[in-house]
Structure 1
Amino acid sequence: MTEAGATLRGRTAGLRSGARRPRLRLLLAISAVVVVAVAAVAAAATGHPPASPELRIRGADISFTLQEEAINQLLTDNGTQAPVERILSDHGANFVRLRLWVNPQPGTSDLGSALTLARRAHDAGLQLLLDLHYSDSWADGTAQHPPAAWQGFSKHELVSTVESYTRETVAAFGRQGTPVDIVQIGNEITRGMLWPYGQIYRPDGEDWAGISELVNAGARGARNATPDHQPLIMIHSDTGGDRDASINFFDQLQRQGVGFDMIGLTYYPFWNGSLADLDRTLRALAYRYNKDIIVAETAYPWTLSSSGGVRSVVRSAEALPDAAEYPPTPQGQANFYAALNRLLREVPDGRGAGYFIWEPGWLPGVGADAHTGNAHSNLTLFDWQGHGLPALDAFRPTGTSGSARAAGG
């Protein structure tokens, strides 16, 4: 999700040894088998749909953190000040997602910033999903601009560069002792990546060959970066509420021989539809591809107000398909995440791996870029004074709090 992209459109733990990548794969596989067996027994006894006991991946994208801290935006949880990764970990999170641009303005999703946040997350006991945009700024369904340094490359040069850049980048995290657990090859690439070569929909028709070569190149680079700790490869679509578009996208990639381990979906209810729409997509993909699925980006408002002189992206309850059940209030936000957690645990065969809440600490004051402000500050898990909201308990394995928490506490 991007601030700039949203303006244009209107509009997803402890395994720390060098061998933990095979262990993570084994853990995910064993967990899926176990939770299905347990859920089947429970379903037979109650007549309710089977549900996994808990989500295996519970995380947040915290890429704006250093920019927030640079302007002294501090966060508190029940009155205690702490870094965002510590607060998330204390509430049950086990992953962070970090955005990475190729040659951006210093301090804005560059490699140094991502490495710093990865080290902090690792120290807090969190694992890492790396979100590679393959651009110098926001890449999403509205724009997939190649980095300036890659402009004019031939097809061979571009494919080779994607592979080497991915390999060198993932290796950098391994060298500092914070190896990447999941690599996202491109951001919201439903319409392609690194346009025009990897663009799918063109005036003269569809072209799936370019994006397929690029994704495979990125996957090769990621898998060869740290041989003792191979990350899982995730492909990210922005079609969480659209079952047919999701099936078409992943079907086409499979026909082209693209290999990947996990499916990532963007799901913002104010753009992607109701929880029922998401449920239809998740179930269809689980049956069709037999792969774990992550909601790689999601958010929900705790207020409809705006702050920082920027109009919030969600200003009306009418934009929320399930607003009657989950109103845009601190408690309504918490209840929405509890419902999302339950929905993912009910995905067939335990394939609903988990979700990432997008930028829960992005408070007013830091813009999306030099030209665009923050229209998403009402989607955070902290109020505008940095006080934690009840929805922080979304990171607990079952998405529910063990005790009552006061809003703004």
Structure 2
Amino acid sequence: MTRQLIPFILLSISLIGANATGTASTSNTPNDYLNLVGVTPYSNTQTSFSDASGKKYPSFIAMAHAAGANTVRLGYWVGEDQTEFYAQAEEARKLNMQIVCTIHLNVEEEKDFASMLTATERQSQWAYDDLRRRSVKPVLLLLGNEINTGHGQINRWASWKTTEGDFMTNLAASLKAGAKGLRKAGYKGDIGVHCDRSWAAMFTGLIEKGYTDYQVAAISLYPKWGDMKTTVEQKAELMHGLATEQKKKILIIETGAPYIGKGKHKTQDFDPEHVEEISPRGQAQFLEKVCQLVLDIPEGRGLGVITWGSDLTTGIHEWDHVTWNRAQVTKERVALPSLYVFGKYAKPVNSTRFQGK
């Protein structure tokens, strides 16, 4: 173990106490728990993770489970090799962890909007049929990723560049077609919609345009992102009306804060006033704050919190300044204190809830 890790290990032990051995905390009452609390592992090719005490784990999913996470978020890409997806899903199943699955459709090459809607329904049905054949039973399915941006494929067809009509009408039609495919395949569980901003108006706009078959409003919640002048507390509060008036469950499907700076631009996309401390302790404090904000959503409609880039130890994109330094492990793959926050909030998984619908 390198000398550079010693200060971090001492800090980790002081922060997580009994969790230093990888044992999750269980001090909360049932009303303090969240249904979905977990991670988004980027890859299962990285092995040999360890906690601060030196205990080894064969994968990040295994270590996250030991730390108290009850959920893994995975991406299913239609038309691509699913080997890694199914390997991660099988590991989650063996650990009795819940799976939240985002289905990424492959509809960009369709010749017109009508053809895209047909392909969306067909691919959604096929994807769930494939999941069921492989005995993967997600507790939540999402159609597309970040539907308000250009990253989700399904929403690109809704833009004015490719389709006549307004964005929200076309987006609602696209999501409706996808949901129809899932229901045709026999899926009876919750469907989620992911917007990477806390834009409640976008979720209500879908309802106004005729798309009602979604039960979960999923948002990304980062310091500064979205409206740069609002705090994460203000962003979360914007979703309260959606919970009380539209009766939607609210899921923070992406969140995280940096545990280390990066020299000249140490906070990168994070405002200093919105992150109390750029350190392992500050990262853990931020995640606790987000979990508490979800618990505070009215009528018990706060569904859970999932981190993104949870196991990234190096940058993977040209914009990697927002990836590796918000991971929940160091570059040496040692668990950071934020990983043990899960054990304080994760509701124990029973066999019925794990099986999905």
TM interval, shorter chain, is 0.7 to 0.9
TM-score w.r.t. length of structure 2: 0.78
Match of 1:296 in 2: 253
Matches within 5 A, 1:237-386: 237-240=195-198, 246-258=199-211, 259-272=213-226, 273-305=230-262, 315=267, 319-323=271-275, 326-364=276-314, 367-368=316-317, 375-386=322-333
Aligned equivalent of 2:86: 115
Q: CA deviation at 1:56?
A: 1.3
**Aligned counterparts of 1:344 and 1:373: Cα–Cα separation in 2:** 28
SS of corresponding position for 1:355: strand
3-state SS, counterpart of residue 65 of structure 1: coil
Change (3 A) 1:173 1:321: farther
1:373 shift after superposition: 5.3
Q: 1:196 to 1:344 in 2, by over 3 A?
A: closer
- 1:391 corresponds to 2:343: no
User: Structure 2 counterpart of 1:291, which letter?
Assistant: K
Please report how far the alpha carbon of residue 349 of structure 1 lies from its aligned counterpart in structure 2 after TM superposition: 0.4
Contact persistence 2:179–2:191 (CA under 8 A): yes
Match for 2:36 among 46, 53, 57?
57
Distance 1:354 1:157 in 2: 36
Residues 195/181 of structure 1: CA separation in 2 closer, same or farther (3 Å cut): closer
Query: Separation in 1 of the partners of 2:96 and 2:214?
Result: 26
How far does residue 304 in structure 1 lie from its aligned partner after superposition?
0.8
The one-letter amino acid paired with 1:166 is: S
Please tell me whether residue 163 in structure 1 is matched to residue 117 in structure 2.
no
Unaligned runs of at least 5 residues, structure 1: 1-37, 40-51, 105-109, 136-145, 241-245, 400-409
RMSD: 2.9
Instruction: Show the 5 A alignment for 1:171-190.
Output: 171-190=129-148
Report what 1:7 is aligned to. none
- Deviation digits for residues 342-372 of structure 1, max 9, x if unmatched? 11111110111111100211111x623xx67
Figure out how many residues of one structure are paired with residues of the other and give that number: 311
Q: 1:278 to 1:124 in 2, by over 3 A?
A: same
CA contact (8 A) 2:267 2:278 kept: no
The one-letter code of the counterpart of 1:161 is A
Q: CA deviation at 1:198?
A: 1.6
Q: Mean Cα displacement is larger for which, 336-345 or 265-274?
A: 265-274
The 5 Å alignment of 1:148-227 reads 151-191=109-149, 193-194=153-154, 196-199=156-159, 206-225=166-185, 227=186
* Cα distance between partner residues in 1 of 2:156 and 2:325: 35
Q: 1:224 to 1:152 in 2, by over 3 A?
A: closer
CA shift for structure 1 position 203:
11
Distance 1:294 1:322 in 2: 21
Match of 1:5 in 2: none
**Change beyond 3 A, Cα 1:164–1:279:** same
Q: CA deviation at 1:200?
A: 6.2
Distance in structure 2 (CA, Å) of the matches to 1:290 and 1:372: 36
Deviation at 1:201, TM superposition (A): 8.5
Say which of 65, 72, 79 aligns to 2:54: 79
CA 1:316–1:191 in structure 2 vs 1: closer, same or farther (change >3 Å)?
closer
Q: Distance in 1 between matches of 2:170 and 2:330?
A: 43
Going from structure 1 to structure 2, the CA distance change for 1:320 and 1:170 (only over 3 Å counts) comes to: farther
Q: Percent identity?
A: 21
| Equivalent residues of 2:309, 2:324 under 8 A apart | no
> d(CA) in 1 for partners of 2:112 and 2:35?
41
SS in 2 for 1:129: strand
The CA deviation at 1:100 is 3.0
